[in-house]
Structure 1
């Protein structure tokens, strides 16, 4: 019964995403975003002929070391496959730009980390490899039981590109944002964990009375603040226009401006800080000192950065909860974290080799292995039943006596938060301008936060002007 429910949920989620995320139907009249590769049912992998594949990513040293270990293990299974991994860029935007430049040169990798917005960009050149016939292949693909093993919303994101269910990516290292708070400070001053933004800023105002130099709350990603805020305020951001058949930019509206003004008021009162306003430094860098900033929203993939040794030695302990919302009981927060996608190549054997390595990276054991040091959530149900995960959980100390134990405990709590709140996560519409939209609204909200308005009318005029400029920049 559980598997039937999961399968139905997956179908519902896929069609919901597809209905609101296609950005090319107005040009193509519907149908597949890219052509599906026709992998024959009797296709096999040649285990004798050497084949080399390239994997591009933007991982830091610790996560890169995990992948390098996987490559060595994979080589024992497929000795004729050589996997070359490389940190091709320092961040996702730079990585997507490098891949976009590699497309006309014919030098795309075989696999890369990716966000849906980036894949939609590559799809204009029919470059991403549609994985449908690989997934359904009788010997190389996934069984139905294996498909049901993936957390539904994470799997469905890979089919969010058109009305035909074209699958262009696989879930890889998934995360959301968490509300991290100084648990010790909260307990000392009798604060409950806030569930709404009004509650957050009531706590922040109380802290400010006691500590005038404090900026009590931080938000690391301005892009996510704008997008999640739009969702919580029921303000259109991007979406699908059923009449034109196109994805469209929709954020230039009164509800969106009301949302931004709500948070600007808190910035102006010294209650809130963002990464750009903090000199491009993560607000968690202040938080983990145990002073001045006692709450922040950051990626669950960076959970370990909520601690440092000095604060731990002072007795600081950290808690994590879902994001606060505009209205109690109406939670919504963005689903994030990179996927992996493959690229069309002239050699079928090369594409199959890339597919086999991709499958290896998202196996239950590997997704659990990656999650433990990073804070990214395992993407498969069975990952939570693996020996490596059970050993990790059994080793969690309820009362940490060192920072490593404290980090392990917090990572487990962040992953549990992600795993147990799947119904509150959302993804925004995916189409040709969606990546540009995300970057631009992040810059827009920073401009508004930094603007020193003489009065309300001047602020409103500035907001209207900047919104229009950003909208024009994206759509022209």
Structure 2
């Protein structure tokens, strides 16, 4: 599988590197989200002059400890670089808002944790640093072999901002969603792990007969449900206009409405709920009661939250699998933050930021960061590091403690992510894509909560809500 992915990746990479190599070509300028900073092939980093760079993030205390260790190790390699790591927000939205305010004042950081939608907003101020010439630089960049070491779908997300191959981010702590299920209950009742939504709801109906007060299945993120199911149903969501190269909002279509009606039917039958319908509580919280909910879709980055001590003590065990699909052909959105750099106008400072960014996503560091979290290492070689091998060797097939059970499930979630690279996808990223994501999640909630007196009333309500949300996003 790796060889196939690597071959495809190198073909795509060659196209980008060709574009990088022709520094005089400006025929694609209008299609670029931001201009590529033309780092000269002769550019070098001056190790004699002190440089200070700022890294803004929203990490918790455990992750901050790891980053602090990285900064110390990086300081040994580059004594003249001082890295200030700053928690600039409690979540990604707060972080993005603070960066958005800093950009006009020219006080943005040198590096930040980022989601693609946020970077697209930063690009309105021409603030992100296009990394193409840094990546292809003969001494400061990556070799083709090093680039092929990154999981292809994760690397490709960094070039999802336009059709010109502009690379604005690097993969950092990546995840997707997993289908988590009560393995003990499944084994007791002879359920096979479902691969399609129809199979999920066949199981849900059987559970409902036995457990009439149960909501057998839950989905944490309405946004992700809409986006992933749109892909599975072949329903346009967002995309790029081939003539203009600009992003387009496309979700107001008949295929999408049929998809939403499919899931609303399951909500109406009491077979399914979502986080918002659950009073903003994660569906994993109900799952951990040991009754009322027996399977859910949640982030692999939160894999450890599938367990608690009480459930473990009752001998309940949890399994994880790829998301079910409409027709057996897998498709699920990948998620998790990237890191992006900003154009400070100071080349030495930007090179210093680039060097630290490369250091953060080295094989050893991405493996170290993944182990306590459930985020997947982003490089193939990370799975060959000693730290990862030691972690895998410590996994117990038959856990005797909660920590051992959590470690086993995290490993299984990461394996699921690593071994199914062909099913993960990203959407077009542009100035309205973040708004579209938020609004389609709200659209689902609105439709799921609507008590329709008849089919005609339901269709009229769906059409009205779709048009309302579409108008809001596009105007």
Query: Which TM-score bucket, shorter chain as reference?
Result: over 0.9
Bigger CA drift: 237-246 or 208-217?
Answer: 237-246
Bigger CA drift: 363-372 or 267-276?
Answer: 267-276
Other structure's SS at 1:166 match? coil
Output the CA distance in 2 between the equivalents of 1:260 and 1:13: 37
Q: Which runs of 5+ in 2 are unaligned?
A: 17-27
**1:302 touches 1:375 (CA, 8 Å); kept in 2?**
yes
The equivalences for 1:38-437 within 5 A come to 38-328=38-328, 330-437=329-436
**Which digits, 9 at most, give the CA deviation of each residue in 1:445-471, with x for residues without a partner?**
111111122222221111111111100
**1:10 touches 1:156 (CA, 8 Å); kept in 2?**
no
Other structure's SS at 1:137 match? coil
Output the CA distance in 1 between the equivalents of 2:297 and 2:261: 19
**1:30 touches 1:163 (CA, 8 Å); kept in 2?**
no
| 2:22 alignment partner in structure 1 | none
Other structure's SS at 1:68 match? helix
Output the CA distance in 1 between the equivalents of 2:326 and 2:290: 27
Q: CA deviation at 1:89?
A: 1.8
Other structure's SS at 2:372 match? helix
**2:162 touches 2:246 (CA, 8 Å); kept in 1?**
no
**2:363 touches 2:381 (CA, 8 Å); kept in 1?**
yes
| 1:446 alignment partner in structure 2 | 445
**1:13 touches 1:156 (CA, 8 Å); kept in 2?**
no
Output the CA distance in 2 between the equivalents of 1:411 and 1:325: 22
Other structure's SS at 1:359 match? helix
TM-score after normalising by structure 2: 0.94
Output the CA distance in 2 between the equivalents of 1:354 and 1:291: 49
Other structure's SS at 1:113 match? strand
Equivalent pairs counted in the alignment come to 464
Q: Alpha carbons of 1:134 and 1:153: their partners in 2 closer, same or farther (altered >3 Å)?
A: same
Bigger CA drift: 385-394 or 286-295?
Answer: 286-295
Output the CA distance in 2 between the equivalents of 1:313 and 1:287: 15
Q: Which runs of 5+ in 1 are unaligned?
A: 17-27
Output the CA distance in 2 between the equivalents of 1:71 and 1:285: 36
Q: CA deviation at 1:381?
A: 0.7
Bigger CA drift: 306-315 or 1-10?
Answer: 1-10
Other structure's SS at 1:312 match? helix
Bigger CA drift: 240-249 or 253-262?
Answer: 240-249
TM-score after normalising by structure 1: 0.94
**1:55 touches 1:83 (CA, 8 Å); kept in 2?**
yes
**Which digits, 9 at most, give the CA deviation of each residue in 1:111-159, with x for residues without a partner?**
1111222212211221100111211222221122211111111111112
Output the CA distance in 2 between the equivalents of 1:446 and 1:8: 38
Q: CA deviation at 1:244?
A: 4.1
Output the CA distance in 1 between the equivalents of 2:14 and 2:176: 19
**Which digits, 9 at most, give the CA deviation of each residue in 1:75-129, with x for residues without a partner?**
2222222212122222222322221221111111111111222212211221100
Output the CA distance in 2 between the equivalents of 1:60 and 1:393: 25
**1:289 touches 1:308 (CA, 8 Å); kept in 2?**
no
**2:163 touches 2:245 (CA, 8 Å); kept in 1?**
no
Q: CA deviation at 1:3?
A: 6.3
